[in-house]
Amino acid sequence: MNVQQVDTTRVRMTLRPTSRGKIVGKSQLLTDLVENIDRIARANCTVLVTGESGTGKEMLVAAIHDASVRAKGPLVTLNCGAIPEALLESELFGHAKGAFTGAHATRQGRVAAAEGGTLFLDEIGEMPLALQVKLLRLLQQREYSPVGDSKTYRCDLRVVAATNRDLEAEVRAGRFREDLYYRLNVIPLHIPPLRDRKDDISALVLHFFERMKEDLGREDLEGFSPEALALLETYGWPGNIRELQNVVERAVLLAIGPEVSAQDLPMSVRARDVRGAAGSGLPSELPAMGLDLKAVVDEYESNLIRQALARTGGNKNRAAQLLGLNRTTLVEMVKRKRIAS
């Protein structure tokens, strides 16, 4: 076996200067999670973070890295869902010159870039089966081979993976290797959706409010009206913290002041009745009081997309087929509408 050291300097890295001090929330569920970080960080073994879209998985991974003995090393992210299948292997392991058309030079992958640090495999549920075998080898033997290079390279890194899919269901459906699942799931960490930890909402609203006020030069704003706060606290937040952050940002931008009022919140947060009507089918008649057409159509689309994703276990290819959309169009809509997928 030819074991070689690799030069890691040429690979683009994703370094995230986050720390667990930035995780906001006071619910018991979140406090328990944060208390575990130090212990988990020290353990150096593989961690699998699960949770709906926008719940803070990436933030938690950064906190684990920052609290670990590898904190001085790099935190390198690979989003398995964002890179075309054909390129994923070379992104992960690198490739040799001439390995495929367009491979004009040897290029190192994220594994080499993460040497001495943490490799964060985001959306691990999107990884194709063929590559899953190679990842298993990396986890078990700490060895890998770049595409088109028969040599074996060793690495020293910690793997942390995240997904918003139900991986056990993926295993049952034959789309995810069972052995890899157990290998990744040494320490499972689940971040509950915001609707299950409503105690965090007010703290998060305040946190983002203070930040946006400064960023957007709205020091004139004093806070939220009781009515606006009540709406924020009772809303279901399907897009979780990312959606909350966007809603607060928009409100800070739009508010006339001195308070942020209910009028400054988007229709989705304000008008439960509109959502309800759309959720159970499009209203066939225009209500006497009128409606917000965009919000109704938006909710109608979101509802069908959610159903398609649920029916296909989160498989975006098949969900797109069910909806007669391109995969890329669906992915773009899921992002834009902040749908938990």
Burial class for 208, CB neighbours closer than 10 Å (0-12, 13-18, 19+): buried
> Binding to ligand ATP by residue 54, rule CB under 6 A?
yes
Q: Which stretch binds ligand ATP (CB under 6 A): 49-57, 136-144, 152-160, 303-311?
A: 49-57
- Smallest CA-to-CA distance from 164 within 331, 60, 69, 51 is with 51
Q: Compare residues 242 and 318 and give the one whose CB is closer to Mg ion.
A: 242
Q: Footprint of ligand ATP on residues 243-262 (CB under 6 A)? A: 245
Among 164, 268, 302, 315, binds ligand ATP (CB under 6 A): 164
Strands 3-4 and 223-224: unpaired
Query: Where do we find the tokens 């391109």?
Result: 326
Distance of closest approach, residue 226 Cβ to ligand ATP, in angstroms: 24
Residue 146 binds: one of ligand ATP, Mg ion, none (C-beta under 5 to 8 A by kind): none
> Binding to ligand ATP by residue 58, rule CB under 6 A?
yes
Q: How far apart are CA 75 and CA 16, in angstroms?
A: 7
Distance of closest approach, residue 21 Cβ to ligand ATP, in angstroms: 10
Footprint on this chain of Mg ion (rule: CB under 5 A): 58
Q: Which stretch binds ligand ATP (CB under 6 A): 21-29, 65-73, 277-285, 317-325?
A: 21-29
Q: Compare residues 92 and 194 and give the one whose CB is closer to ligand ATP.
A: 194
Peptide bond into 258 cis (omega under 30): yes
Q: Is the dihedral of CA 251, 256, 257, 259 positive or negative?
A: negative
Q: How far apart are CA 279 and CA 275, in angstroms?
A: 6
Burial class for 200, CB neighbours closer than 10 Å (0-12, 13-18, 19+): buried
Q: Compare residues 56 and 146 and give the one whose CB is closer to ligand ATP.
A: 56
Distance of closest approach, residue 4 Cβ to ligand ATP, in angstroms: 34
Distance of closest approach, residue 47 Cβ to ligand ATP, in angstroms: 14
Distance of closest approach, residue 103 Cβ to Mg ion, in angstroms: 29
How distant is the alpha carbon of residue 19 from its chain centre?
17
> First-to-last CA distance in the chain?
42
Query: Where do we find the tokens 């992960």?
Result: 92
Q: Which stretch binds ligand ATP (CB under 6 A): 2-10, 51-59, 149-157, 293-301?
A: 51-59
Q: Footprint of ligand ATP on residues 187-246 (CB under 6 A)? A: 241-242, 245
Among 6, 11, 50, 57, binds ligand ATP (CB under 6 A): 57
Structure tokens at 96: 């040799």
Residue nearest to ligand ATP (CB): 56
Are 18 and 66 spatial neighbours (Cβ–Cβ below 8 Å)? Answer: yes
- Smallest CA-to-CA distance from 76 within 155, 175, 179, 189 is with 155
Distance of closest approach, residue 294 Cβ to ligand ATP, in angstroms: 23
Count CB-CB contacts under 10 A for residue 112. Answer: 25
Q: Compare residues 242 and 337 and give the one whose CB is closer to ligand ATP.
A: 242
- Where on the chain is the footprint of ligand ATP (CB under 6 A)? 23-25, 51, 53-59, 164, 241-242, 245
